[in-house]
Structure 1
Amino acid sequence: MTKGYLVLETGETFEGDWIGAEREISGEVVFNTSMTGYQEMLTDPSYTGQLLTFCYPIVGNYGMNKDDVESKHIAVSAVITSDICEEPSHYQSTSSFSEELKQANIPGLQNVDTRSLVNAIRKHQTVKGKLVKEASQSTHRWEYKNSLDLVKHAAVTSIESYGDGTFHVVLVDFGFKKSILDALLQENCKVTIVPYHTSFEDIQAMDPDGVLISNGPGDPMELLAFLPTVKAITKTYPTLGICLGHQLIALAYGGKTKKMPFGHRGSNHPVKDVSTGKVHMTSQNHGYVVLEESIDPQQFQITFRNVNDRTLEGIRHWMLPVQSVQFHPEAHPGPSDTEFIFNHFIQQVILSRGGTYVEA
């Protein structure tokens, strides 16, 4: 094996062995605490531009398949792991973890002390890093990646249509996960996916029953140019925002966001429903959060809060059929506790068409 190194901007260096493509690359170093779902994580567009560390000590044991993907290609810039299984055992497996990385030209390191790495990230909070071939290099360039460029890389470039259900939903794509599309199709929807820069007039011409604003990578404050379209959508159609979509809806109505110390990335984040007190386990992947004190209580009610750090996890407009959540109700990987969010969205669509609300 060829030795490689992860050098952090804070000075720490972590040794490992190269996997995938042996090429140097830099980016924000983040970690995910999930025990399973490494394939879904690799292909989650919200990881675009990031170096993903797996906390679980072994990945690759059930291989890679053609079904458990969240986009058409691997989204992460690089991966950092402890142990990798090169001989996976699963009837659906078509290739190994490292083979898939090499085929996609994605670099990574294995045999890294990931526990120490995660401790360093938690200590220093937001950390940039670079995979290098020589640890003795004295200078490293810490590249800044504009959020719009990340979204351009993650989102579709042309309109795509799926399904032939009763309800027509336009999915505004900032880097959507395939499981969101699957959830809408299961709710009897026809889904039209449009690029993030699609104008409100073009969306109107599609005559949707509702609109979903997707997740995606980057800092929502660098996407302010799209807020007028987001606000026009919410004032016209039943709207659901997920993750980045949640943040954009909040910003469109005067809210504010901030960078989190090291984000929420995992499949076991407890979220409390404010109205019922019930706690749901959720899948999350975000590095920014909406500040609750910035939400106008005359316009929005708070629907969910994170149990661990009490950060804002969901809002609903008092008058308009608009709701958004910071977590991922479609999960994958993770629990399906909050999949009812999609049903609530469709019920709002039904009400807007003059139908009757039916509690799921």
Structure 2
Amino acid sequence: MWPQKREEVMKAIIALEDGTIFEGKSFTGRGEAIGEIVFNTSMSGYQEILTDPSYTGQIVTMTYPMIGNYGINPEDMESSSVHPKAFLVKEYNAFPSNYRSTQPLAQFLETYGVLGVEGFDTRALVRHIRKAGAMKGIVSTEDLDHASLVKKAQEWTGLVGQNMVERVSCEKPYGWADNMPLSGSNFSTAKSADNNEKAFKVVAFDFGIKYNQLRILAEKGCQVQVVPATTSAQAVLDMNPDGIFLSNGPGDPEGVEGVVDTIRELLGKKPIFGICLGHQILGLAYGARSYKLKFGHRGGNQPVKNLETGKVEITSQNHGFCIDTTSLNEEDVKITHINLNDNSVEGMRHRKFPAFSVQYHPEHAPGPHDATYLFDEFIEMMQQ
């Protein structure tokens, strides 16, 4: 029954590994969740954020003070599940008002077993993370002992070196048509949006893929076949695609076993376009190194400069790791985009092979549409 009655709300403790404590209230009932505490600066788009597989293993804090006011709807799903361990907000709105809404946020989180907490100073938490860096944390309504919770947070393995992709990648290949996944292991089930049988065939590696990446590829006339992250290079080549797409995904790129070797084997054989984790994996395949950012880039207002055009794009981002600029071979790889906040690498293009990538999310959902032109560049690359 919804909206949830306020008398049902219960105390929740948020504990960070450095001993910092916040007290709030659960708006989804009882629970306990452990993960990396991060923050997102988007003013809206919380449903897309929650259903983005890149947030696997994380506890997400929204900086915008009121969340839940427009509810949840089936059209804005970016995957088939909810991925953060917990969701932290300043104030939860239990009375959504939007013609598209089919249920309130609390009910949505409860369905997927995700703990929702409100009623604490999210600004203080965000300021602490910005100063100290993203860190391990725990949220609980079950254990209210501060020392016990801090110890649990400290003992958690964290994200560095872990293979988080294996938790979200599909188990079997599937196609995409009519704005939904279709079962099947070859392009016979993958249709473009206009059912064009002569459309470009794209194999998309699922590292934690968002549906809007598939939607846009289909809208551009591509037939898309999604494959598990563990798919071999030879299996991809046997499908004879026109291009290869490397999706976004969660965690540390260096923790994803075997995939870098697979992509390195595919370099130069087919055009490749990578986004977010796909960008990082492509960078590792080039021979570069990755590193963990202090508190990551998460939100829909990240400024990125396109070094090839001089234009500034406002982008949607969600990543905690980045490619080390100094480890790139400038003779082979050209940096095409940089983040204007910290000058980190936001885009690369190989000088010898048809391969390029960006760290941010040109498919938006949520966020600005400034960078959707990159999908057109991928189409042009497959035409050559």
* TM-score, with structure 1 as normaliser: 0.95
Letter in 1 for 2:288: G
- The alignment yields a C-alpha RMSD, in angstroms, of 1.2
2: CA distance between counterparts of 1:224 and 1:230? 12
Which residue pairs with 2:216 in the alignment? Answer: 183
> Per-residue displacement from partner, 1:184-224 (whole Å, max 9, x unpaired)?
01110000000000011111111110000111001011125
Unaligned segments of structure 1, at least 5 residues: 352-360
Cα deviation, residue 21, structure 1 = 4.5
Mean Cα deviation higher: 217-226 or 76-85 = 217-226
2: CA distance between counterparts of 1:21 and 1:103? 11
- Structure 1 residue 127 and structure 2 residue 135: aligned? yes
Work out whether residues 48 and 75 of structure 1, in 8 Å CA contact, stay in contact via their aligned partners in 2.
yes
Letter in 2 for 1:327: Y
2: CA distance between counterparts of 1:254 and 1:149? 19
Mean Cα deviation higher: 144-153 or 318-327 = 144-153
Structure 2 matches for 1:111-260, cutoff 5 A?
A: 111-133=119-141, 134-139=143-148, 140-142=151-153, 143-145=156-158, 149-163=163-177, 164-165=191-192, 166-260=199-293
Structure 2 matches for 1:23-172, cutoff 5 A?
A: 23-133=31-141, 134-139=143-148, 140-142=151-153, 143-145=156-158, 149-163=163-177, 164-165=191-192, 166-172=199-205
Which of the residues 355, 362, 366 maps onto 1:329? 362
Aligned-residue identity in percent: 40
Letter in 2 for 1:141: K
Cα deviation, residue 349, structure 1 = 0.3
Letter in 1 for 2:137: G
Cα deviation, residue 321, structure 1 = 0.9
1: CA distance between counterparts of 2:27 and 2:287? 45
2: CA distance between counterparts of 1:138 and 1:76? 24
Unaligned segments of structure 2, at least 5 residues: 1-8, 178-190, 193-198
Mean Cα deviation higher: 8-17 or 138-147 = 138-147
> Per-residue displacement from partner, 1:160-206 (whole Å, max 9, x unpaired)?
01242301000001101111111101110000000000011111111
Which of the residues 24, 31, 36 maps onto 1:16? 24
Which residue pairs with 1:348 in the alignment? Answer: 381
Mean Cα deviation higher: 67-76 or 216-225 = 216-225
The alignment partner of 1:281 has SS state of strand
Work out whether residues 36 and 158 of structure 2, in 8 Å CA contact, stay in contact via their aligned partners in 1.
no
Give the direction of change, closer, same or farther, for the CA distance of 1:21–1:106 in structure 2 (3 Å limit). Answer: farther
2: CA distance between counterparts of 1:14 and 1:148? 27
Letter in 1 for 2:47: Q
2: CA distance between counterparts of 1:54 and 1:324? 28
